[in-house]
Amino acid sequence: MEKSFMSFILTFILMFIFWVLLSGHFGLILMVSAVVFSLLVAYLSHDLLLGRASLSALVGTSVRFLVYLPWLFWEIAVANFDVIYRTLHPGMLIDPEMVTFDPKLKSDVGITILANSITLTPGTVTVVAVKKGDFKVHSLTKGADMGPMVKKVKWIEGE
């Protein structure tokens, strides 16, 4: 099967699942709308989302990303409690810092996953990508370690 067609089908399936998960409703009109608009989005953007990678590479990356999500959710939960503790502590244990680093990721998907993961984690914000690959991150505390997250994202990329 042609890679472009497979990319279209996978994008459609992902968009449809995403629509249904966000909607939470299963009425006929909503399901028809989900199919129509998922097809439209897949037609317009299948090369952007999945590119021309092989099916095995796409499946491998997708599975690794799904394994990464519980770890990310745990990190978000831990960071929430850390931010609460620091803001409610009488000594206000906040010591903001801007850090610039190059995680040496090899794909736009990896860069996007890392930037979004950092921003989703309370206490850190990806301010700007200085140049492609470089990150400038604001954190509430000095010495925020991005290493474990970078290692996980590199693993998603297949390193």
For residues 67 and 25, state if they share a domain.
Answer: no
For residues 70 and 135, state if they share a domain.
Answer: yes
Structural domain includes residue 148: yes
Structural domain includes residue 68: yes
CA angle in degrees (0–180, nearest 5) for 158-39-106: 20
The answer to whether the beta carbons of residues 150 and 103 sit under 8 Å apart is: yes
pLDDT value of position 76: 95
Report the domain count for the chain.
Answer: 2
List the domain range (segments joined by +) for residue 71.
Answer: 60-157
Confidence of residue 6 (pLDDT cuts 50, 70, 90): confident
Confidence of residue 77 (pLDDT cuts 50, 70, 90): very high
Structural domain includes residue 143: yes
Residues 20-69 have pLDDT tens digits of: 999 888 899 999 999 999 999 999 988 776 666 676 777 888 889 999 99
Structural domain includes residue 55: no
For residues 76 and 44, state if they share a domain.
Answer: no
Question: What is the C-alpha to C-alpha distance for residues 148 and 154, in angstroms, rounded to an integer?
Answer: 10
pLDDT value of position 90: 85
Q: What percent of the chain has pLDDT over 90?
A: 39
pLDDT value of position 51: 65
